[in-house]
Amino acid sequence: MLNIRMLSIRNLKAAINGMEILKGINLEVNEGEVHAIMGPNGSGKSTLAAVLAGRDIFTVTGGEIFFDGKPLLGMAPEIRARSGIFLGFQYPVEIPGVSMVNFMRTAINEQRKYRELPEMSASDFLKLMRDKKALMEIDSALASRSVNEGFSGGEKKRNEIFQMAMLEPRLAILDETDSGLDIDALKTVAIGVNRLRRPDNAMIVITHYQRLLDYIVPDFVHVLSAGRIVRSGDKTLAYELEEKGYDWIKEENQE
């Protein structure tokens, strides 16, 4: 298998309000791979996701990120998105008054413009919506609703994956997509995600619990603690972690 390098994170440091959260992250992600990032609350998982997506409340204080060979830092969030980075939000934002159709059509056409492709016709777009909704088993009324407004927790998370299906990212970062979901909703989301796995894309799955990884099986598992990746391994690491708890990592780390 040809390992084409997609994402390189080198000694990444980031802070918020002067407090350093990420203290030197190193991570390499190749095409076709699924990486799971696990860690206790406050270890910096969501910060890492936000920094990758370009959230400006965090200040990058050191290190580099390359995405498809290009430096990512300094790139506006929307350019990152158009280049193929997708962030599945832990807390998807409600935007009253903006319909899902309008929202998605704008997003797709902005991406196509960036890639020098013609705008998608209305009928092609609606067909795409229909296909993806079917794929994600999404209620067809969703399209006429405002973005995430009045959605249940499960609906919001499914809506994130639906958007991922629409936008077909190179790299999807799913930030605690499992949080707040019951087991059925979790399965539905996982099935959706698995359908989107391809040899030419990659995923970073951020989770606190191992159970999501029963359904989205990772190639690599990394454990984040206090702003650093303290352990990496294959999927068995997740089970080990589940068994021994995060204290095990913390203790081991201190030794």
Partner 1 sequence: MEAVSDKHILDNQLTDWYFDNRDQLISSSSSVFNSLRPAAMESFRKLGIPDRSLENYKSTDIPKVFLSPLNRYIGQRKILFAVEDLFHCDIPELDTELILLVNGWFYENRPKLQVLPGGMIIGSMSEAAKQYPDLLKQHYSKYADYEKDGLVALNTAFAQDGTFIFVPRGAGNDRAIQIVNVLLSPEDLFVQHRNLVIVEDNATAKVVVCDHSLSAHHFLTNSVTEIYVGPNAHLDYFKLQNENNNSNQISTSFVHQERSSDAVFNTITLHGGLIRNNVFTRLNGEGASNQTLGLFLMDKTQHVDSYTFVDHAVPNCTSRQSFKGILDDQATGAFTGRILVRPQAQKTQAYQVNNNILLTNDARMSTKPQLEIYADDVKCSHGATVGQLDQNAIFYLQSRGISIREARLLLMYAFGHEILSKITVDPLRERLADLVDKRLRGELTRCNSCPLHCQETC
Question: Within a 10 A sphere around the Cβ of 76, how many other Cβ atoms?
Answer: 10
- Note whether 24 and 144 are within 8 A (CB): no
Separation between Cα atoms, residue 10 and residue 26, nearest integer Å: 5
> Nearer to partner 1 by C-beta: 163 or 207?
163
**Residue 153 touches partner 1, criterion: CB under 8 A:** no
Q: Nearest approach, Cβ of 108 to partner 1 (angstroms)?
A: 8
Beta-bridge mates of residue 25: 12
> Nearer to partner 1 by C-beta: 97 or 118?
97
- Answer for which of 62, 77, 154, 180 binds partner 1 (CB under 8 A) is 77
> Nearer to partner 1 by C-beta: 56 or 139?
56
Nearest to 32 by CA among 70, 5, 54: 5
**Residue 76 touches partner 1, criterion: CB under 8 A:** yes
Q: Nearest approach, Cβ of 164 to partner 1 (angstroms)?
A: 10
Separation between Cα atoms, residue 118 and residue 97, nearest integer Å: 27
> Nearer to partner 1 by C-beta: 53 or 217?
53
**Residue 171 touches partner 1, criterion: CB under 8 A:** no
**Beta strands across the sheet bearing 70-71:** 19-30, 5-16, 59-67, 70-71
> Nearer to partner 1 by C-beta: 77 or 154?
77
Q: Nearest approach, Cβ of 239 to partner 1 (angstroms)?
A: 32
The count of residues interacting with partner 1 (CB under 8 A) is 29
> Which residues contact partner 1 by CB under 8 A?
53-56, 76-78, 80-82, 86-87, 89, 92-93, 95-98, 102-103, 106-107, 110-111, 114, 146, 163, 167
